[in-house]
Structure 1
Amino acid sequence: MKTIRYISCSGALLIAMTTVNCALAQDTSKRKTIDITSTFKPVLRDAVKQNFSASLPATDTSRPLLNYNIPQQQVKVPFSPGTLNPVALQVDSLLPWSNSHYLKVGVGNAHLPYAQGAFSFGNGTTSFFNAYGEVYASKGKLDHQKNNLADFMLRGTFKVAKDHELSARLGFKGQEFYYYGYRPDTLEFSKSELRQRFRTVEAAVNFRNTSPSEFGLTYNPNAKVTVFSGTNNSMENKEENLVFNLPLQKYVGKSFGFNLGFTGDLTRYTPDGKSRQNNDLMFISPALLLKTPNVFLNLGVTPSWDNGSFNMLPNLMGEMTTNDQRFTLQAGWIGYYNKGSYQRFSTINPWIAPPADLQNHRQTQLYAGFKGSLANHFTYSAKAAFFKEHHVPLFVNDQVDGKTFETVYANSMDVLQFHGEIGYMRGEDFSFSSGITFNNFTNVEGQAKAWGLLPVELNGTLRWKILKDLYFKTDLYAWDGAAYRSKEGDDRKGDKAFDLNAGVEFRITRGLNLWLQMNNIFNNRYQRWNQYEVYGFNFLGGVAFRFGDMKPIKK
């Protein structure tokens, strides 16, 4: 069977090959062509577009009524914001810098002559320079009731860097007083025996940063050197004083701060014909500070060394105020020193004899009070304080003729004090202030009385710009008499005093003013210090010249 299948396939293949060969054996001269008998191209029909014709909407004149439903919010505010109320304008003491100068001269029934002047220089941005001077000679109706003054001061401030400032001053002050309060007044003295001269030369330097450093530090180191002398009847008493202060303050954020300061006050006193005395005082003042819109706290102590004797003084102060700043409570417990020096004593009582020794007056004060404002223009304050004082300097008449005052000390003394002030201010056109102080001196150890200290003091000041170029001022001083020691050694009470002063000044031209000052208008012959009667009624008037650039410098 396989053989038959093989023969059949071979035969079929042979027939096919024979057919191809016959076809190839046909005419091969004809070229190969393709004949296209028909074509087909598909095409889409054009789409039919619809035309839209818009019509204007009809005008709607009706107003829609919208209803809102806002639920009530239950929000609890943790504080109550303060109200804003206008207050009286405070007189700005930092006016734009002006290179202006003035010279004030005058005469009167007690002063002949009188002259005062001030001159300012600098560019107002990096340098400020001032020169000031005042001289006068005065004479009263009593024999040797004389007083002369010559006071000069140079002051300069320079910006040494963008945020640092250097200030310096140099001054001279010469005063001349006469011991005219001797009793009996029939005694005779030479002019040199009655004349006492005080001379003061002072130099000071101060360096501070005007803005806190990158670490939040504010510093203000300063130093002052004073040379003082008192001369009477060819006897000269000298005193040199050096004071340096190194304060440092740092705030952490806006509320917390820290104060640290070191102060040294060194005095060398040389009485005529006697050995030199040293009176040195040093203290450190660290304190923590808290300052918020409503609370201020100063928590510190003051370790001090008074000629080597150690005393720890308190330094605690606090204030609490309302949100509108119209009422403030104050309280504190503080301690401090008043330096015992010949120069300072001469400013309190110019008829003192050279002190035999110098002691520093130490005070500790516990106080409480309040202050505030009313009706936008009224201000008020009141304070009650209890003082514990040590080494209090007091002045008593000598027991020969009483013309000089000896310096004595109360080892300790208690003082209960009440002080109150009221004020009214309406811009720079009108201002009035008045204060009263009551002092009760008790437990005076070492002395019979608090010699020369006033138990009651009253003062008042009024400034009124009546017209554009017319100014009026008045001052009132009144007090109850202080205790004094008589020649026999017993204690007596001094005179009460009421002293009213008034002055007026008006402008004539841009650079010329006329002025008049009247003192002790009621001609009260009181004695602030026993046996020394003050001047009676006296007046002083003259002209004031103003020249230079009187317009603020444009920055």
Structure 2
Amino acid sequence: MHYCKKICCFLLLVSLTTATVQAQHKKKGKKKVQTAAHKKAPAKTKKSHTAATPAKKKTAVFSAAESTPAKLNREGLGDTTAPRVVTVTSAFKPSLKNAAKVNFTAASPVIDSSRVPVLYNIPAQNLLFSYQPVPIKPLALPQDSGLAWVNDHYIKAGIGNYTTGLAEGAFSFGDGKKSITNLRANYLTTKGNLPAQQYSKFGMNVISILNTNHNNEWTTKAFYENTTRYFYGYEPASLNYKKDSLLNRFNTAGIEVGLQNKARNDFNITYHPQVQLRYFADNRDNKEYALVAKANINKGFAKIYAFDLGLTADISKATFFPSTPNQRTLKNNLYYVSPTLQFNTPNFKLYLGIQPSWDNQNFSTLPNITAEARIKESALVVEGGWTGYYNKNTYYSLAGFNPWLAALTDLQNTKAIETYAGIKGSAGNHFTYKGRVSFIKLNNQPLFVNDLLDGKTFNVLYEPSMQLMKLHGEVGYNVQEKFSFLAGATFQKFSSLVVNEQAWGQLPFEVTGTLKWKVLKDLQVKADAFLWDGPYYRSKSMQAMKLDPAADLNLGIEFAVMPKLNLWFQVNNLLNNKYQRWNQYQVLGLNVLGGVVYSFR
């Protein structure tokens, strides 16, 4: 009975709902008919336009909303009428809105501030150990020194053919900071196969450097040298001379003192005064005294400008044929001042200056202009300049160039004005190079000719004016102290001579080279090379002649046999070329020497 009541209530509710829905459908149907009638007329006028664009419009068909009870009622009553359909025509194209991209950010980890408990197991202090931390004590940083000064001493001795004997020694003293003293002495003697072909040399020098508390450095040098030769280059060889009459001995003694500040002072000034006293004499009582005083002051402005002032006084006096009616005294004095304005930067240097000079009361103003420029991003430096200078000619300097001189009758200084250009630089960490071409005008250049009697002595002739074109080049290769190579070549062309036919005694071409190679820790090799084209000389018939080219090669080796003892072996004139540097003076042939070196290190 209870179920029957529920079924009746349900049927009543369905019938009421169905009636209400049908009434609503009738109202909507009337409104749609009216709307379609109003839109039918304008649709005709726009028929062609509508037909042209049907593809751009979309038609959506929606079924009238029917409630679930209505559907159930229609199906139950068997209503087969089609549901009413509403057709909406529109150009609107629905699209979905772009969704924003969601970025995920990692969360930072949570800082763990909790302390991890650490347990220490301390054993029983049966032996009373102290488990106390060691206190930290600061230590003074040791001063870095690139080279620790060590006083070294050695003695070298050897013998060879041509009755050759050699002895050499060097000793050093001082602490390397406040004072340094080096003492060196050497002795060499040899005797050739020609009559009176004999040579010996003894030399000694002491150099000391003292540093003061005021950042100044004193340098002193004392030297002595004795050389003994004989005039063996006479012709014809059949001439009979007593050996004592051919003696040619020179003695030189001198002292030098200099002072300089190692760094600029509070006024940005550096200074370097020097004084030299020299005595030179031969076995014929010809003597020469010389005094050379130099003072150089450099004042810096800002960082790239400086003014340099140099003062030089070179005074000498020579006496020839003393205590004879032909006694001659030659005074040769040279003074000059060299003010220069300097401009220095890392890539460019420019020096502008002049050099007023007084040569034995003859005044001249010489140029002093030089420039250097470094090519960017390279190690190449280009240089050029226009400079003037004097070469002081003294008995000491001329005898050092040609030891076979006769007594001098005149002394003149050589004035040179040079215009040059060149390059220099390096390639890599080991190779260096340099090249220069120079055009030099020379006045009073000394030339050397044999005397017209037997030719064993040379007379000095001064060429008033001549031109010199000079080419010079150098290359070097160094690898620390293990390997070193240096070679140079010089080409000289003399022209426009006024008095003399040729540049007597001057080398037109010369090549020199030296090599040092530390093959092993206790094995060293050394080699030297000298090559040149023969110079012009004047024969007894007053004709210009030329000496043959020459080549001289030397090779040496040194190796250790004990911790402080080394053996050395050397061969001079390896090619056994008996050439002549000066006309009528033949050199020794192949010379072999050997000996020991003991070091006191």
Give the TM-score category using the shorter length. Answer: 0.7 to 0.9
| Residue 299 of structure 1: aligned partner | 352
Whether 1:448 and 2:448 are equivalent positions in the alignment is no
| Residue 532 of structure 2: aligned partner | 479
CA distance in 1, matches of 2:478, 2:328: 54
The one of 245, 251, 269 equivalent to 2:318 is 269
Q: Deviations over 1:51-88 (max 9, x none)?
A: xxxxxxxxx995489xxxxxxxxxxxxxxxxxxxxxxx
CA distance in 1, matches of 2:529, 2:416: 29
Q: Deviations over 1:255-286 (max 9, x none)?
A: 11110011000000100231322100000010
Q: CA deviation at 1:452?
A: 0.5
| Residue 160 of structure 1: aligned partner | 212
Pick which of 503-512 and 193-202 moved more. Answer: 503-512
> Do 1:481 and 1:495's aligned partners in 2 also have CA atoms closer than 8 Å?
yes
Q: Deviations over 1:279-308 (max 9, x none)?
A: 000000100111101001111111000000
The one of 542, 546, 549 equivalent to 1:489 is 542
Gaps of 5+ in 1: 1-59, 66-93, 551-555
Secondary structure of 1:286 counterpart? strand
> Do 1:342 and 1:354's aligned partners in 2 also have CA atoms closer than 8 Å?
no
| Residue 252 of structure 1: aligned partner | 301
Percent identical across equivalent pairs? 41
Change (3 A) 1:366 1:95: farther
CA distance in 1, matches of 2:387, 2:163: 43
Q: CA deviation at 1:510?
A: 2.4
Higher relative contact order (CA 8 A, sep 6+): 1
The one of 157, 178, 194 equivalent to 1:105 is 157
| Residue 393 of structure 2: aligned partner | 340
| Residue 479 of structure 2: aligned partner | 426
> Do 1:322 and 1:328's aligned partners in 2 also have CA atoms closer than 8 Å?
yes
Tell me how large the CA RMSD over aligned residues is: 1.7
Whether 1:118 and 2:118 are equivalent positions in the alignment is no
Q: Structure 2: which amino acid aligns with 1:370?
A: I
Whether 1:239 and 2:291 are equivalent positions in the alignment is no
The one of 437, 440, 443 equivalent to 1:384 is 437
Q: Deviations over 1:134-159 (max 9, x none)?
A: 11111112111111111011221212
| Residue 383 of structure 2: aligned partner | 330
CA distance in 1, matches of 2:188, 2:491: 35
Q: CA deviation at 1:501?
A: 0.8
| Residue 500 of structure 1: aligned partner | 553
Q: CA deviation at 1:325?
A: 5.0
Q: Structure 2: which amino acid aligns with 1:108?
A: G
Q: CA deviation at 1:378?
A: 2.2
Q: CA deviation at 1:95?
A: 5.1
> Do 1:246 and 1:262's aligned partners in 2 also have CA atoms closer than 8 Å?
yes
The one of 571, 578, 584 equivalent to 1:518 is 571
TM, length-normalised to structure 2: 0.74
Superposed, which structure 2 residues align to 1:305-324 within 5 Å?
Answer: 305-324=358-377
Q: CA deviation at 1:374?
A: 2.1
Q: CA deviation at 1:322?
A: 2.6
Change (3 A) 1:186 1:97: same
Q: Deviations over 1:155-208 (max 9, x none)?
A: 212123330111212111111111011000111101121111100110111111
Pick which of 114-123 and 323-332 moved more. Answer: 323-332
> Do 1:120 and 1:130's aligned partners in 2 also have CA atoms closer than 8 Å?
yes
In proportion to residue count, which structure has more helix? 2
Whether 1:393 and 2:443 are equivalent positions in the alignment is no
The one of 176, 183, 186 equivalent to 2:238 is 186
Secondary structure of 2:433 counterpart? strand
Q: Structure 2: which amino acid aligns with 1:338?
A: N
CA distance in 2, matches of 1:96, 1:260: 36
Q: Structure 2: which amino acid aligns with 1:395?
A: F
The one of 581, 586, 595 equivalent to 1:528 is 581
> Do 2:476 and 2:486's aligned partners in 1 also have CA atoms closer than 8 Å?
yes
> Do 1:111 and 1:136's aligned partners in 2 also have CA atoms closer than 8 Å?
no
Pick which of 276-285 and 118-127 moved more. Answer: 118-127
Q: CA deviation at 1:111?
A: 5.2
Q: Deviations over 1:489-528 (max 9, x none)?
A: 1110111001111111112222111111111101011100
Secondary structure of 1:539 counterpart? strand
Q: Deviations over 1:82-113 (max 9, x none)?
A: xxxxxxxxxxxx95432111111111113532
CA distance in 2, matches of 1:539, 1:219: 48
Pick which of 321-330 and 455-464 moved more. Answer: 321-330
> Do 2:347 and 2:374's aligned partners in 1 also have CA atoms closer than 8 Å?
yes
CA distance in 1, matches of 2:488, 2:539: 31
Q: CA deviation at 1:253?
A: 2.1
Larger radius of gyration: 2
Superposed, which structure 2 residues align to 1:58-73 within 5 Å?
Answer: 63=106
TM, length-normalised to structure 1: 0.80
Q: Structure 1: which amino acid aligns with 2:285?
A: E
The one of 362, 365, 369 equivalent to 2:415 is 362
Pick which of 476-485 and 250-259 moved more. Answer: 250-259
Q: Structure 1: which amino acid aligns with 2:286?
A: N
Q: CA deviation at 1:376?
A: 3.3
> Do 2:418 and 2:440's aligned partners in 1 also have CA atoms closer than 8 Å?
yes
CA distance in 2, matches of 1:113, 1:522: 21
CA distance in 2, matches of 1:324, 1:188: 69
Q: CA deviation at 1:435?
A: 1.8
| Residue 456 of structure 2: aligned partner | 403
> Do 2:431 and 2:478's aligned partners in 1 also have CA atoms closer than 8 Å?
yes
CA distance in 2, matches of 1:128, 1:96: 13
Q: CA deviation at 1:229?
A: 0.4
> Do 1:414 and 1:441's aligned partners in 2 also have CA atoms closer than 8 Å?
yes
> Do 1:497 and 1:526's aligned partners in 2 also have CA atoms closer than 8 Å?
yes
CA distance in 2, matches of 1:98, 1:393: 46
CA distance in 2, matches of 1:109, 1:301: 54
CA distance in 2, matches of 1:64, 1:283: 85
CA distance in 1, matches of 2:431, 2:295: 38
> Do 1:174 and 1:199's aligned partners in 2 also have CA atoms closer than 8 Å?
yes
Secondary structure of 2:275 counterpart? strand
Q: Structure 1: which amino acid aligns with 2:407?
A: P
| Residue 215 of structure 1: aligned partner | 267
> Do 1:257 and 1:290's aligned partners in 2 also have CA atoms closer than 8 Å?
yes
> Do 2:565 and 2:599's aligned partners in 1 also have CA atoms closer than 8 Å?
yes
